[in-house]
Structure 1
Amino acid sequence: MLMLSAKKYVYYLPGENNSAKEFEASVNSLIIIGANGSGKSKLGAWMERQNGEDVHRIGAQRSLNFSEHVPLKSYEEAEGEFFYGSPYSDHWGPDKGVRWDWGKSDTTKLIDDYDAALSALLAQQNIDRHHFFDACRKSEEEGRPKPHTPQTVLDKLYAVWHAVFPHRGLIEEDAKFSAVFQQGDEKQLYPGTQMSDGERSVLYLAAQVLCVPENKTLIIDEPEVHLHPSLMGRLWRALESARPDCLFVFITHDVQFAALHKDSPRIWVKSFDGANWDWDFIPNSDLPEQLLLELLGNRKNVLFVEGESNSYDVQLYSALYPDFYVVPSGGCTQVIANTKAFASTEGLHSLKAYGLIDRDYRSEKELEALKRKGVFSIAVAEVENLFLVKPLLRVVAGHFACCNVDEAVNKVIDHIINERFRGQIGRQICQATVATLKAQLSALDFGDVDNDSVSDRFKEAVGSIVPEEELERQKARFEGALSRQDYDEVLRLFNAKDASSSIGHFFGVDNKQYKEKVIGLLTGEAREKVLEALKPFVPVISA
């Protein structure tokens, strides 16, 4: 796994019958991601075995303990310790021999090589200094100007550390690493053995990366271990920049970290049967990168819904559709777009994706067309109206036992129909008419046109839409529901998000807290009653 040329890196993945198939990358990082148990770590071990001499793999199980004074060794001995697992040449080999118990614990062994990595780092520092000293001596002997001081491996380490911890320094004195921080006018030190897990992890990973010989492939299993997300991105950006000669292969669960590597090839590991991997490259998608990776990592079918995280609709739908991974997507347009986009990635997974939107002012024809695309609608105008349906009102009235159930429910129905709906009916009719006309315009088909016919075709198509007729149709629907006092039809037509925030007092609770109280019932003994009350008003979607 050597760098071919500038900006070209080679790596191997299993092809047919696990034969090594060669790939190229133009950036020095590769992301491998997948669900727990999908075989990601074992794939990393397989990649190492293809060319062990050119690959250094940092396992997920790694010890962060090291000696206060780093053992000083020759570079050859230290390199053998951390790269092969033994300083003795008879243990060296492409299978890494003792490092992974000769393959018995490729992905499970706790690697205790912190001292070895720091020893190799200091040995490399001594080599750098020795070369500089020799160059200066030779320049003196030949009467030439001395060379400029080079950037040593410790200089690179300090630069990486500063990129991650800009307000905390790092020094090495007499084979002892210490952290430095400013306290008032004085600098305070504490030994490396007293560093936090995050600090020790940064030092460990930086040492591993910086002392690896040139043009290696570095496989890092779970780069997020012991690192806060805010530190992880800074660390690996700094290390990738410090070692442009090396290819970094990250095996990760962290979708945010994976999404940060936008230009890197990304491998989705679907499954591993003990002998073979099912994997694929993650293609470009209209879904946000982080969302796509998150969805691929879950084991449930996906349901895109309107609303934001922790909104009432998301909480309701999560309870009503427990077999689905419910994803809030903002508005209905984004729900439709996300459902379509995720369906286009079906080659990566066996999951199904559906959408669930408010009915709004859509016609039955529009709703049927969306349903064929996997996008369903609720039986009321908008999700807030689910808090108003008659069966739920009866559950709420019975639970709070504050009044006669029938009396309270009838008061709510009268309030919604004759105060809220009647008071807004004119504006509602106009909004419904405009929404329907927009839908009709967007559905126009002009057929094949040329420069001479485009104007006539447009006028002909638009002329088929008669706003006056649509206005009268909507008036008949809305006024008919009002005159019949048809509560179910009113809830199908009435778009007023604040209506459900006006009825709490009928049940002895604050109006503003009514929806919160209903959501609270979902966590208690009334949960099943609430769900049964709502189910007739939401579509049946099979997982």
Structure 2
Amino acid sequence: MMSCTKTYVYHLPDADGESREYETSVNSLIVIGANGSGKSKLGAWIEQQDFEGVHRIAAQRNLNFSERTPLKSYSEAEDAVFYGSSEEAYRKGKQRRWDWGKSYTTKLLDDFDDVLAVLIAQLQNENQRYVEDCKRAEERGEEKPHTRESSLDRLLTIWGQVFPHRSLRMTDAHFTALIPGDDAGYSGTQMSDGERSVLYLAAQVLCVPEGKTLIIDEPEVHLHPSLMFRLWRALENARPDCLFVFITHDTQLAASHKDSDKVWVKSYDGKRWEFDFIPESDLPEQLLIELLGNRKDVLFVEGTGCSYDVQLYSAIYPEFYVVPCGGCSQVISNTKAFASTEGLHSIKAYGIIDRDYRSDEELAGLKAKGIYSLEVAEVENLFLVDPVLRLVAERFSCDEVDDAVEQVKAYVIRRFEGELGRQVRQATVSCLKEQLSGIDITTAAGASVAEDFGAAVASINPEKVLRKQEERFEVVSNDADYEGILKLFNAKGVSESVGHFFGVDNKKYRDKVIGLLGGDWRDRLVEALRTYAPILP
């Protein structure tokens, strides 16, 4: 049985700059990369391989148009849009459209009137053909044909899909946007940039002859993401005969095209492009694309965009692009996943997680995979380390810095001793979970999975684990080892109850410390924090 799946062909340069053909079953291709990587020049190169088969809409486009569209014949308007001129001498290589090759990627397109003129001329031709068909039917005594969907109908449909609470009307070559309940509306020349951009791009796409490749540079210009997604979904559906090539740095647009080929442009040296296809990854695709566009090495951390993790790590590691991942398991997963894409880039990625109750052995195993831990149990404990306490005491004018710091330490130690039993139990549970997660059932001949699992579980000794944790915690407790306690003490609320020792509201203490990162105390605070943060390669 023959497949009815349509295929689309596009070309990209190989390592020698020669054209290489690719096929896809999806009518869109995403070309993405950082600013200055050569994306637009690659779009121009693709067009130059087939001037007749490719129509390119440059990033620089004038969205102003006349109150009433100047009417032209279809062929004259079409030539003006596709070639920049209707004169035969200038059609080859689209010389006038791109200033005889001098402005392939920099010329400001000023063809809005011509684009609308093509659409109106199409409509006139369609109406004329319909009238002629009706006349022939009358002459033959046949039933007149039903009205067909016109170019204008398609434009109005797409407009309605993008702007469901606006409608569009075209009368006497004049476009009007309508608001429900207001028949007068407002002139197309008074539309917002987003509305005019939708009108321009939709008209461009609808007037392209069948089977063309459409290159759209920076399709996101002037468009809110929600409008952009609706527009391009509508246009791709309206023109399944065309291949859309989107040249963009918008990660959301790229990620929304889940099944499309995606080309990551790394660099261009004036003659050759370095690029790769973005592979499938365990990382969310939008995050992967965003990271590829970043010039810094990547640091995955716990927390959200406004959490203490991000604020503190961004200050401690200014040379890294800090990415919040939520929980520690996602930090570990993302660090491993990004490392698996190293063929695409030269960016290094690391992770930082809270120490929590992990054993030294477990932390060493994670470090070997590029995942590091703090020298305290959790990020909130950074607000309690000695050098930070001293800095805060000095900043908020405590008369006796040493006395204030010692009072905080004594308070933290008392809190730790009061919660010792609960902390030991939580550490024991954490250790047991880690041992259970490491069980590897390799069923020998004749043995059952249940037997293997039972044997593995039986090898875990909860009492032994409990005693080991009791020893760890009791040692630092008996010695009143403040640094050791901060390594073990998991109690996020403790740092939210020490502000009063410095004359600061308890609930505002941590924010007061964060506030020091924005002033003259920044360097001293960062230096104090670095002592407890891992040194990254």
TM range (shorter): over 0.9
Name 1:539's counterpart in structure 2.
534
C-alpha deviation, 1:483, in angstroms: 1.3
C-alpha deviation, 1:145, in angstroms: 0.6
380, 385, 389: which one pairs with 2:385?
A: 389
- Counting only pairs closer than 5 Å after superposition, residues 363-512 of structure 1 correspond to structure 2 as 363-418=359-414, 420-447=415-442, 449-452=444-447, 454-512=449-507
Task: Say if 1:403 and 1:507, in contact at 8 Å, map to a contact too.
Answer: no
Name 2:72's counterpart in structure 1.
73
329, 337, 341: which one pairs with 1:341?
A: 337
Question: 3-state SS of the aligned residue for 1:438?
Answer: helix
Question: 3-state SS of the aligned residue for 2:295?
Answer: coil
Name 1:522's counterpart in structure 2.
517
336, 354, 360: which one pairs with 2:356?
A: 360
Sort the Cα spacing of 1:263 and 1:453 in 2 relative to 1 into closer, same or farther, 3 A: closer
Say yes or no: does 1:271 pair with 2:267: yes
Structure 2 letter corresponding to 1:108: T
C-alpha deviation, 1:178, in angstroms: 1.3
C-alpha deviation, 1:49, in angstroms: 0.5
206, 229, 234: which one pairs with 2:230?
A: 234
Name 2:111's counterpart in structure 1.
113
C-alpha deviation, 1:448, in angstroms: 5.3
In structure 2, stretches of 5+ residues that fail to align are: none
Say yes or no: does 1:59 pair with 2:84: no
User: Residues 102-144 of structure 1, C-alpha deviation per residue, up to 9 Å, x if partnerless?
Assistant: 2111000011011110111111111111111111111111111
RMSD: 1.3
320, 324, 334: which one pairs with 1:324?
A: 320
C-alpha deviation, 1:449, in angstroms: 2.0
Question: 3-state SS of the aligned residue for 1:17?
Answer: coil
User: Residues 123-176 of structure 1, C-alpha deviation per residue, up to 9 Å, x if partnerless?
Assistant: 111111111111111111111111110000000000111111111111111111
C-alpha deviation, 1:463, in angstroms: 3.1
Name 1:196's counterpart in structure 2.
192
Name 2:174's counterpart in structure 1.
176
Task: Say if 2:77 and 2:118, in contact at 8 Å, map to a contact too.
Answer: yes
Name 2:159's counterpart in structure 1.
161
Q: Return the alpha-carbon distance in structure 2 between the equivalents of residues 280 and 188 of structure 1.
A: 52
Structure 1 letter corresponding to 2:330: Q
Say yes or no: does 1:143 pair with 2:138: no
Name 2:242's counterpart in structure 1.
246
Q: Return the alpha-carbon distance in structure 2 between the equivalents of residues 261 and 427 of structure 1.
A: 49
Say yes or no: does 1:209 pair with 2:205: yes
Q: Return the alpha-carbon distance in structure 2 between the equivalents of residues 32 and 393 of structure 1.
A: 50
Task: Say if 2:137 and 2:144, in contact at 8 Å, map to a contact too.
Answer: yes
Structure 2 letter corresponding to 1:15: D
C-alpha deviation, 1:455, in angstroms: 4.8
C-alpha deviation, 1:460, in angstroms: 3.8
Question: 3-state SS of the aligned residue for 2:283?
Answer: coil
Question: 3-state SS of the aligned residue for 1:98?
Answer: coil
Q: Return the alpha-carbon distance in structure 1 between the equivalents of residues 326 and 10 of structure 2.
A: 40
Sort the Cα spacing of 1:453 and 1:159 in 2 relative to 1 into closer, same or farther, 3 A: closer
Question: 3-state SS of the aligned residue for 2:352?
Answer: strand
Q: Return the alpha-carbon distance in structure 1 between the equivalents of residues 301 and 215 of structure 2.
A: 38
Question: 3-state SS of the aligned residue for 2:531?
Answer: helix
Question: 3-state SS of the aligned residue for 2:222?
Answer: coil
Name 1:513's counterpart in structure 2.
508
Sort the Cα spacing of 1:149 and 1:324 in 2 relative to 1 into closer, same or farther, 3 A: same
Task: Say if 2:78 and 2:114, in contact at 8 Å, map to a contact too.
Answer: yes
Q: Return the alpha-carbon distance in structure 2 between the equivalents of residues 294 and 276 of structure 1.
A: 24
Task: Say if 2:351 and 2:372, in contact at 8 Å, map to a contact too.
Answer: yes
Q: Return the alpha-carbon distance in structure 2 between the equivalents of residues 154 and 142 of structure 1.
A: 30
Q: Return the alpha-carbon distance in structure 2 between the equivalents of residues 345 and 114 of structure 1.
A: 42
User: Residues 325-354 of structure 1, C-alpha deviation per residue, up to 9 Å, x if partnerless?
Assistant: 000001110000000000111111110110
Task: Say if 2:27 and 2:242, in contact at 8 Å, map to a contact too.
Answer: yes
Aligned residues: 535
C-alpha deviation, 1:194, in angstroms: 1.2
Structure 2 letter corresponding to 1:44: G
Say yes or no: does 1:291 pair with 2:287: yes
C-alpha deviation, 1:411, in angstroms: 0.6
